[in-house]
Amino acid sequence: MQVFRLSSEETAVRLPFFSASVAAGFPSPADDYIESGLDLNEYLVKHPSSTFLARASGDSMIRAGILDGALLVVDKSIEPKNGNIVIAAINGELTCKILDVKHQMLRAANPSYPSIPLNDGDDLLIEGVVIHAINPMTNLT
């Protein structure tokens, strides 16, 4: 799993933003104008000083909408709760899984992968809670 640093405010890029939503079902008439720009940092990052990016690898979280190669936005300031998707370091290995406090395990979102039991002797550090996944559309097939 790769970890990336967020850009500084000096390098922020505002992208054009359509003011109308785009139909994902039946087509609707398009608006002929673009609203003010949208800075993705403002949209995706609530706590800049405690947010980092990581690249997902593999398909163990596919049913949670995290595809191989997804860019994950992770917030370290959010208190991890049961059911959150987290980045965890378990015995020195980073993984992205669903936190299952009740059953003391980290669960995959793909039935082909086993859950990771959390034992008393394990070295577990929750690095942060995944708040967004940006998936490459080329991996949908």
Q: Which residues are catalytic?
A: 60, 97
In angstroms, the first-to-last Cα distance of the chain is 22
- Residue pair 100/107 in contact by the 8 Å Cβ criterion: yes
Radius of gyration (C-alpha) of the chain in whole angstroms = 18
Q: How far apart are CA 22 and CA 44, in angstroms?
A: 19
Query: Which stretches of the chain are assigned E, i.e. beta strand?
Result: 2-4, 14-18, 34-39, 51-55, 71-75, 85-90, 93-100, 105-107, 116-117, 124-134
What token pair was written down for 132? 């967004």
Q: How far apart are CA 25 and CA 37, in angstroms?
A: 25
- Residue pair 77/47 in contact by the 8 Å Cβ criterion: yes
